Every structure is written in C-alpha cells, then in structure tokens.
Structure 1
Amino acid sequence: MATATIGEITIGYDDEGTGDTLVLVHGHPFDRSMWQPQVAHLSRAGWRVIAPDLRGYGSSTVVPGKTTLDVFAADIAGLLDRLGVDRFVLGGLSMGGQIVLECHRLFAHRLRGLLLADTSAPADGEATRGWRREMAERLLREGMGPYAEEVLYKMVSASAPPDVVTQVLAMMRGTAPEGAAAALRGRAERPDYVAMLAEVAVPALVVVGAEDAFTPVADARVMSDTIPDAWLVVVEGAAHMPNLERSAEFNAALHDFLIRTRETAAGA
C-alpha cells in the first residue's frame, strides 16, 4: 500500500502493474481491498490498476460530517494528478459507481471508459434520503456491527464462498462509523444522472448480480439501454458484490471490456 497527501487528507491506495490505467472505486461501507481479485488479475494482464481508499474508509483520513460525491471525485482526480495519470478507465461498484458518474459529470474528458457495477443513476427519492440520514445517525450510535450483520446476505448471496462472506463482513465491521455516516449524508444529496447517460461518449460496461436486491437488474438496464456504447453483463449466482462472489466471471468480462476500450482509443 502507498499513501498520498491530497489537500487536507491522506489517501491510501494500491498501484499495481504497468500499461493503460484502470482506476477502481469501492462501495459503501467497504475499502479498496474489495478489488483485490481485479487488481491481481488485471495487473498481470498488462494494465496499471489503481484502487484508492475513499476518504472516511480503509486507511484514508476519516472526515466526519458530510462528504458529497463531488468531494470524492475531487479526491480521485487529485490522486491521479499526483500519480501523473491523465486519461484512464474508471470503474466503481454501488456508491463507487455513483462516484464514477459524478467524475463523468465533472471531468468526462479524462475518461476512456466506464465500469458501472451494481449501481444506479437516479437521485434518491425523499423517503430514501430520509433513510440515509437516519442510518447515518444510527451508525454513529451503534457502530458498524449491527448494520453489517443485517445486510450481509444482501451484499452477498446465500451461496457465496465462506471466505468472501468473511471478507465482506470484516470490511463492513472495520469501517469507521464517522466516515460511513458522512458518505451517507452526502449520498442523499447526489444529483440525478439519468439525463447524462445519453451523453456518455466512451464505452461502458454495466455489471450486476442477478440476485442484487439493492440495485437490481432493472436499474442496470436503465444505464445499459441509455448509454450509447454500453455492454450489460448479468452475473448469475451473485448479489451486490459479483466482483468477489464470482470473480472469475467478473474478471473475464472486465478484461474483455478493457481490450475494447483500448481498441476504441486506438481507432479514435
């Protein structure tokens, strides 16, 4: 693991391999270790893979209060500036996918392709915004343990390998409640990205677990049907984290997609 000071915070990140760059943004309430199967596979396959811990998560600085998606996006841009990376393929899962969409809104010119995994484009409705704010307060009162137990088998399916179940539970329990609460408050205020989807001018891979209850297949189809050059992969036997539950299938789809982005860039 490496670290970089970006503004007022320190960001922990992995940076493996050489070649064209893929940046992977983790979801809530996880950390960069959720991408370990993808970092290991793709860094050996001719790609430079960078996976940061978002502020408030993993080994990055915990900032209480409220962290909106534009702040996460600015942190990512700042880290990549520090690393000398101008253009890159950007991928994220769940909240990470929404951060990817925010990055597209703010600096689409830097992106060569998008991976949108188990995420959704619409803004929250009023009820969901209220739920996120209430959950933020609950995490501060109770810590991460009770929430982690409640949602474990929505994050992964009942058939998930035991080591994956253990890893997902450990990531959730290990997240700082203050960081998770700040992200929940900020996420409740995110904009609606649906209208922007038709403007995406780079290839996009949309992946979703067939059993995902948080962001179901219908949400994925909204994105794959609207983005002009999009490819939908539905991963059977997986819930919200197909990159861990079915890493071989996820890696194969992502590797094929990266080759496609490289060919698209070469033909531009």
Structure 2
Amino acid sequence: MTVQLYARDVGTGTPLVLLHAFPLSSAMWLEQRQGLANRFRVVTPDLRGFGGSRLGTDDPSVDLMADDVAHLFRRLGLQRAVVGGLSMGGYVAMALCRRHPDLVLGVVLASTRAAADTDAVRANRLRQADAIDGDGTVRVLLDEVLPGLVGPTTYRQRALVYGRVRGLVQATPAPAAAWALRAMAGRPESFETLRGLKVPALVMVGDEDELATEDEARAMADALPNAELLVIPRAGHLCAVEQPDLFNQAVAEFAAALARTTR
C-alpha cells in the first residue's frame, strides 16, 4: 500500500521531482531548491520512512517506493515531470520509469547504477539492516556508509558539507534505514527499462565516486537510447551536495531543453 509522502514544493515552471540518496532525506536538496526554484517547480519528497514521511508496514520494495512517488504526482496534480534521482533515488527513478512511464518527461540519474546488487553487496546490505535492527541505532551507517558518501576533495576542503552530510545520516530513523537497505538489496536490474526509455536522460557521476563508478554511469548512458553523460569534477558520491552549482547548471540546461521541445 502506498504511503503519503511529505514533500517540499517550491517554485513554478516545468516540474522537477528530485529523489534523495540513502541514508539521507529531502534535506539534501537544499541547494537545488534554492538554485533551481527561480526557473522550475522543484518537488523534493522524503521517501517512505525518511524525513517527514511515515514508513508503513509493507515489505521492503523499491517498486513500492516508486508507487509512492506516483501517488505524490497525483496528489500534487503533476501530469509529467523531469525526475531526478541520486543513488537510492536513482533506483526509485528507474522503477518509476518502468512502472509509471507516462509520468516521466525526462530522467536524471546521478551516482547510481542499473545493475542489481552483487551477492557480496546484497549480503552486506542485509548485514547492515540486521545490525540496525539489533541495536536500534544507525551507528553502522556512520561507521561504514558515511565515509563513502563524499569524495576526498570534500573531506579536505569542504568541512561544512561533510558535517552537514554526517548530521543527515545521524538523523536517519533506524527502522527506515533497515527497510531501505532490504529494499535496495532486493531490487532487480534496470538495463531493460533504460533500453526501452522513450524520453531523454542525463547521467551524472562524480569523478571521485567509489560507490557508483564512472564505468557504471557509462554503462547506463550506453543502454539509454537518448542520453548524455556528465562527469562532475572533485565530487564523490553526493555530487549534488558536493558540487551544487555544477549539478544545478546541468539539470537546468537539461530540463529547459526538454521544456522547449514539449511546448
């Protein structure tokens, strides 16, 4: 059953729906709301269990997270939008393209991958989920996930950005984190979805990202019929947070071009 997602909704113009990374919330999109709302209607939901959205009692599923987003479209009266997802948000965006393609005007896939988890990655996610259930905290995420979220340049030169990311991870509700880990572990691969996509796509990756690599970004761009690939310099996994100006410029150009062709 879908849950009603809490969402921040600012600006006017072509709708831009941005789906956040794990284990953060829509708070990660602060600079996108500030930088893009003068040209677009920027909608940033909290995926279920995160931020202001409740978790519900359903079994973990990325498909269900995509259905939640489709439900949000209907609630907000959005017919179609440019849908962007970073990391886990990218998995949800690809599931939305598969399950609700009529809602998607274009897609931005940042710091994500179309392949399913390897056995080792899946086992690691499930172990982390069990650890969270076991002690009721997200300590395992601070120890194991946080270090990979930003690149070395951010560690060295952007202490405030790193501190903000750490705060967002610490604020993650433990039940939501465990649920999302299991949902991601069980997701299918999405290459078939990408090959069948009828709308333009923008694939982005930070050049210091070790969680979703440039090779994986290139594989997605190659599978998509109409895609451009952008490598963002001096950025790790959270390229939208680490290099917001470059990210916003790329998304604005992509969305503005789409808006022109669909008038």
Q: Name the TM-score, length of structure 1 as normaliser.
A: 0.92
Q: Which amino acid aligns with 1:67?
A: P
Pick from 124, 127, 145 the counterpart of residue 134 of structure 1. Answer: 127
Q: Which amino acid aligns with 1:62?
A: L
SS of equivalent to 1:28: coil
SS of equivalent to 2:6: strand
- Measure, in 2, the Cα distance between the counterparts of 1:87 and 1:59: 24
Matched, 1:245 2:247: no
Question: Cα distance 1:192–1:8, how it changes in 2: closer, same or farther (>3 A)?
Answer: closer
Pick from 235, 254, 258 the counterpart of residue 255 of structure 2. Answer: 258
Pick from 88, 96, 101 the counterpart of residue 108 of structure 1. Answer: 101
Equivalent residues, number: 259
**CA displacement at 1:129 relative to structure 2:** 1.8
Q: Which amino acid aligns with 2:73?
A: L
- Measure, in 2, the Cα distance between the counterparts of 1:150 and 1:131: 10
**CA displacement at 1:8 relative to structure 2:** 6.8
**CA displacement at 1:135 relative to structure 2:** 1.1
Describe the superposition over 1:228-250 as per-residue Cα deviations: whole angstroms up to 9, x where unpaired: 11111101111001111111111
Pick from 27, 36, 42 the counterpart of residue 42 of structure 1. Answer: 36
Describe the superposition over 1:19-49 as per-residue Cα deviations: whole angstroms up to 9, x where unpaired: 11010000110000111111111111x2101
Identity of aligned residues (%): 36
User: Which residue of structure 2 lines up, in the alignment, with residue 155 of structure 1?
Assistant: 149
Question: Cα distance 1:64–1:179, how it changes in 2: closer, same or farther (>3 A)?
Answer: farther
User: Which residue of structure 2 lines up, in the alignment, with residue 3 of structure 1?
Assistant: none
Matched, 1:193 2:207: no
Aligned structure 1 segments of 4 or more residues deviating by more than 6 angstroms? none
- Measure, in 1, the Cα distance between the counterparts of 2:112 and 2:188: 14
Question: Cα distance 1:179–1:63, how it changes in 2: closer, same or farther (>3 A)?
Answer: farther
Question: Cα distance 1:167–1:66, how it changes in 2: closer, same or farther (>3 A)?
Answer: farther
SS of equivalent to 1:49: strand
Q: Which amino acid aligns with 1:116?
A: L
Contact 1:68 1:187 in 2 (8 A): yes
Matched, 1:117 2:110: yes
Q: Name the TM-score, length of structure 2 as normaliser.
A: 0.94
Q: What's the RMSD between the two structures over aligned residues? A: 1.5
Matched, 1:74 2:67: yes
Describe the superposition over 1:104-147 as per-residue Cα deviations: whole angstroms up to 9, x where unpaired: 00011221100000000011122222221111011222411342
User: Which residue of structure 2 lines up, in the alignment, with residue 223 of structure 1?
Assistant: 220
